[in-house]
């Protein structure tokens, strides 16, 4: 399966409520198929449920530790909720068409739909002494994402981190629960965090660029991650 992404110099705004289409090719012997998956907008409610279904459990049993997550159920859920059509098939579409799509194709479509990357700022900065008590005035977090098969760039401009915001993010990052499973057996559940990060984004309310309308849930979560977990640059005197 060969996915494709289009790059353009034209400014494209990310529209979380717009229809998106992703096309890929599948080779079967001497035959090649071109398939297009059609998705409706990105509702926050469905994205939050998808994130919940992807919760990670760390199962501990004596000396053995297993990491488990039901990503297949999560991908299948979101595909059923958001994929409205699949083009490139011959004949009438059966009522159970979603069941007939291979899981790998569903997963590839969902991955493209939610594809997002925090852009590292590698520009050269001027080094100078820092003043005592002076907080970082502002910080920009930049994302690249796929929108309707095209690569787009979006930005969020945050103000200074407040102690309350740092504490709130720390709670989100460190929140785990221990589930007793019987004698000498327990599981640690790492809960979904997308919704909590998005709520923190809304509370901070940074200025954003590159969107037509609202910022989708998973973008808010990525912005917050980039803001609170940006790497501290290190310099080496030569």
pLDDT tens-digit readout, 127-141 = 878 778 766 667 899
CA–CA distances in Å: residue 126 to residues 130, 158, 235: 12, 21, 11
**Which tokens in the block code for residue 22?**
């992703």
**Can you give the pLDDT at residue 129?**
84
Burial of residue 62 (number of CB atoms within 10 Å: 0-12, 13-18, 19+): exposed
How far apart (Å, rounded) are the C-alpha atoms in residues 58 and 69? 9
Confidence band for 120, pLDDT divided at 50, 70 and 90? confident
If you average pLDDT over residues 77-82, what whole number do you get? 96
pTM exceeds 0.85, yes or no: no
Query: Residue 57: which of 78, 44, 71 has the closest Cα?
Result: 71
If you average pLDDT over residues 108-119, what whole number do you get? 92
Percentage with pLDDT > 90 across the chain: 60
Q: 1 vs 106, which has greater pLDDT? A: 106
If you average pLDDT over residues 55-75, what whole number do you get? 68
Percentage with pLDDT > 70 across the chain: 77
**Can you give the pLDDT at residue 146?**
93
How far apart (Å, rounded) are the C-alpha atoms in residues 221 and 237? 36
What are the tens digits of pLDDT across the range 171-183? 998 876 665 555 5
């Amino acid at each position: 399966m060969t996915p494709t992404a289009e790059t353009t110099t034209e400014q494209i705004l990310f529209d979380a409520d717009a229809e998106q289409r992703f096309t890929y090719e599948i080779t079967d012997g001497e035959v090649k198929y071109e398939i297009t998956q059609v998705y409706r907008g990105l509702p926050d409610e469905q994205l939050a449920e998808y994130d919940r279904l992807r919760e990670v459990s760390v199962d501990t049993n004596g000396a053995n530790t297993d990491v488990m997550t039901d990503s297949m159920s999560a991908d299948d859920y979101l595909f059923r909720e958001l994929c409205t059509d699949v083009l490139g098939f011959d004949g009438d579409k059966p009522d159970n068409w979603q069941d007939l799509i291979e899981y790998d194709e569903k997963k590839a479509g969902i991955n493209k739909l939610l594809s997002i990357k925090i852009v590292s700022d590698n520009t050269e900065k001027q080094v100078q002494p820092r003043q005592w008590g002076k907080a970082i005035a502002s910080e920009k977090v930049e994302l690249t994402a796929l929108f309707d098969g095209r690569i787009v760039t979006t930005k969020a401009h945050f103000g200074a981190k407040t102690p309350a915001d740092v504490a709130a993010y720390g709670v989100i990052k460190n929140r785990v629960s221990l589930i007793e499973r019987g004698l000498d057996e327990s599981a640690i559940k790492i809960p979904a965090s997308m919704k909590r990060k998005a709520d923190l984004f809304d509370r901070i309310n940074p200025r954003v660029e590159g969107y037509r309308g609202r910022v989708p849930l998973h973008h808010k979560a990525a912005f917050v991650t980039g803001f609170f977990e940006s790497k501290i640059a290190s310099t080496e005197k030569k």
